[in-house]
Amino acid sequence: MSPSSQSPRSSRISRFVPAISVLPLLALLILPAMLTGCGGGQEDDAVLATVGQADIKASYYEDRLVKLKAEELPRAADGSPLDMSLLEGKKEFLETLINKEIMVQTAKNMGLDKDPNIVTARMTLIEYESSMVMWNRVIVEPAKTISPEELEAFYAQMGSSRECLYVICNFLDDAEEARKMGDEGADWEDVVNKFHDGGTAPTGRYEITVPFGRYNPEFENGVFNTEIGGTTPPISSVYGYWVLRVLKEKPGKKPPLEEAKAQILDVTWNRKMSHIKEDFKKEVMAKYELTIDPDVLWKCYQGLPAGETLFREGTQEPRTQDELTPLNISTKDMDMVFYSYIGRDGKVQEYSLLDYKVHFDKMSVFQRPKDTDMLGGLRNKIEAELGKTLLNFEAEDRGLYEDPEVTDKVDLKVEEMIVNKLYAEVVQIEERVMPEELDAFWAEHSHEYVTRETRSGRLVICLNAQTAAEAHARISEGTAWKDILVKYGTERDNKSRSGKLDGIAATPGDPISSTLFSIQLDELSEPFALPDGRYGVVLLESVVPERQMELLEVSEAVGQRMREIRKEEAFLARMDEWKKKIQVTIHEDKLADVASWKELTTVEVPENLVPRN
């Protein structure tokens, strides 16, 4: 733990935390999983419990368990964490799964899954999850296959860069003319003067250095596949069409191949994803015949509000909708067909410039294309927005709306919604906390509300034991702490606070806290080891003793705790009612074979894992 992680407010108040509540754990268990409902697909998947007509299987149990963090695991009545390799812990977790399934079935019996908002949300989730599954299958997974030849080819050019002159054009025809002019040996300034639509270069020379491996593959391939002295073909980008004259290539430094391998794998994986994504996007757009009229696009671009900024002048406050200028389109151009594509029904769907204006004028300041993005920026934003629609078409056409991987995830998210709806609508409590109730609760629990003793002082973090010893000696001689930090300090956060430690509570296992609590007021500690191999020295400057808090200080927090207890009690009472209506059969003997949390979360990392986090 570093001093910067200390929160004075949270470290000073010791609050009573009741034994594990079923509510937070149930919420965690509703998170999306790869398995459907309560069962898995394996033939030998043991049934741990049957709730109504649903089976809770071992695969589902393990899938739910592995998603929990250590602090989220079930606890005993005294608040201590249960050992999830033992029967007691397994039974407790299984009981939570059973309760969750009872809530799901109760909600469905009440018809909550037929609520119009839930039905609409299900369709939205199907569209989203099917797109994500398609993305993973078509783009992410294929890109993970990286051959030794690809790795070596990347390494051969790693570190190199190419110096180029450039011009950016709004129109492809202009870019092709600029390339032709460049190939014929024209002075590049003349090419820029005739065709450049972008901003003015700060230096006056339109130069760019392209390091290998930094740009998207389409841009980079255009540059590195062109001979030195040659001119690239037009390269499409979010800014427009680039044309570059390649002046020279410079080699650069690079680490040995073995040291660079992890970085190369990461970069190559991302480059392959980008390349596959672009190819797939073009394939989908061609399939659904997406067409954007270039002449109408130009009219739209000319109508963008000039110089529109995100924030109000001199502030960081976003411009509101009523402050934004509408898209300026001539009335005679309103009915022009802007873009079209083949819809789900197989018919051409056409949208006019007026349709886009209506859409544009409703956008927030962050969503709206800007004239500074150039024509390419407008085109790319429109393509990206339409692309989402076309990807939904493609996902449905591929049968992903009915794919188990999609429906399983959607079912679990819908279960989350209907369980939350059940809880919100059925579990009701009296929200008011009367003064006499507050006083009675305080009389019983006041001892649980105390401010812990905290200590403040100074810290210097040194590179090793030797430099810490030198720092200790200089501090003992009276050297100012700021001078100690300049000469011996090695942590930026610590130095930025002038070495101050404020309101530190006793924290077992933390060497800084432990040392601060082991010395006397105005005493300087001996150098002590830190987990990362460095050494620290602390000076204790002040102590704030533990103090019993007054009700007035925490009345709001106490009242909220009382409401939470009421809510918990009301929920448990409801659970007892729901359990009586749904038959539950537990096969306790099957629990012995399910994996423990530790077994499930201990993962061996492959040497060439892609991507690396």
pLDDT in tens, 360-386: 999 999 999 998 888 988 999 999 999
Q: What confidence tens digit (pLDDT) does each residue in 258-282 have? A: 888 888 888 888 888 988 999 999 9
Where would I find the beta strands (DSSP E) of 121-195?
A: 161-169
pLDDT for residue 529 is more than 60: yes
Q: Which residue has the tokens 């005294």?
A: 78
Per the CB < 8 A criterion, the answer to whether 92 and 72 are in contact is: no
Q: What confidence tens digit (pLDDT) does each residue in 36-50 have? A: 345 544 457 899 999
pLDDT for residue 607 is more than 50: yes
Q: Classify the phi-psi angles of 289: left when phi > 0, otherwise alpha if psi is within -120 to 50, otherwise beta.
A: left
Q: How far apart are CA 557 and CA 15, in angstroms?
A: 10
pLDDT for residue 21 is more than 50: no
Region 455-468 average pLDDT: 96
Write the DSSP assignment of 585-612 as a string of letters: EE-GGGGGGSPPHHHHH--PPPTT-SS-
Q: Quick check: pTM over 0.75?
A: no
Lowest mean pLDDT among 94-98, 311-315, 429-433: 311-315
Q: pLDDT above 70 covers what percent of the chain?
A: 91
Q: How far apart are CA 64 and CA 157, in angstroms?
A: 45
pLDDT for residue 592 is more than 90: yes
Alpha carbon separation from 191 to 164, 232, 240 (Å, rounded): 14, 14, 16
Region 277-302 average pLDDT: 95
Domain ranges of the chain: 159-253, 285-397, 435-447+550-581, 453-545
Q: How far apart are CA 337 and CA 296, in angstroms?
A: 8
Which CATH number among 3.40.50.1820, 3.40.30.10, 3.10.50.40, 3.10.105.10 corresponds to the domain 453-545? 3.10.50.40
Residue bearing the bigger pLDDT, 2 or 540? 540
Confidence of residue 9 (pLDDT cuts 50, 70, 90): very low
Name 278's Cβ contacts closer than 8 Å, sequence gap at least 6. Answer: 217, 218
pLDDT for residue 212 is more than 80: yes
Q: Which residues pair with 543 in a beta bridge?
A: 455
pLDDT for residue 399 is more than 70: yes
pLDDT for residue 610 is more than 90: no
Q: How far apart are CA 446 and CA 462, in angstroms?
A: 43
pLDDT for residue 124 is more than 90: yes
DSSP state of 36: B
Confidence of residue 34 (pLDDT cuts 50, 70, 90): very low
Phi, psi at 369, each rounded to 5°: -60, 150
Region 306-331 average pLDDT: 92
**Average pLDDT taken over every residue of the chain:** 89
pLDDT for residue 56 is more than 80: yes
Confidence of residue 26 (pLDDT cuts 50, 70, 90): low
- Sequence length of the chain is 613
Reference 171, options 96, 103, 230, 240; nearest CA is 240
pLDDT of residue 199: 81
Topology agreement, domain 159-253 and domain 453-545: yes
Reference 608, options 257, 117, 210; nearest CA is 257
Alpha helices, H only, 2-57? 8-12, 22-29
pLDDT of residue 266: 86
pLDDT of residue 239: 82
Which CATH number among 3.10.50.40, 3.20.20.60, 3.40.630.10, 3.30.530.20 corresponds to the domain 159-253? 3.10.50.40
pLDDT of residue 583: 95
- Strand arrangement, sheet containing 547-548: 13-14, 450-451, 547-548
Q: pLDDT above 90 covers what percent of the chain?
A: 76
pLDDT of residue 25: 54
Q: Which residues pair with 236 in a beta bridge?
A: 241
pLDDT of residue 24: 53
- Strand arrangement, sheet containing 47-51: 54-57, 47-51, 584-586
At residue 282, what is the residue type? K
16-44 exposure pattern, b = at least 16 Cβ within 10 A, e = fewer:
eeeebbbbebbebbbeebebbbbbbeeee
Confidence of residue 141 (pLDDT cuts 50, 70, 90): very high
At residue 578, what is the residue type? W
Q: How far apart are CA 389 and CA 42, in angstroms?
A: 36
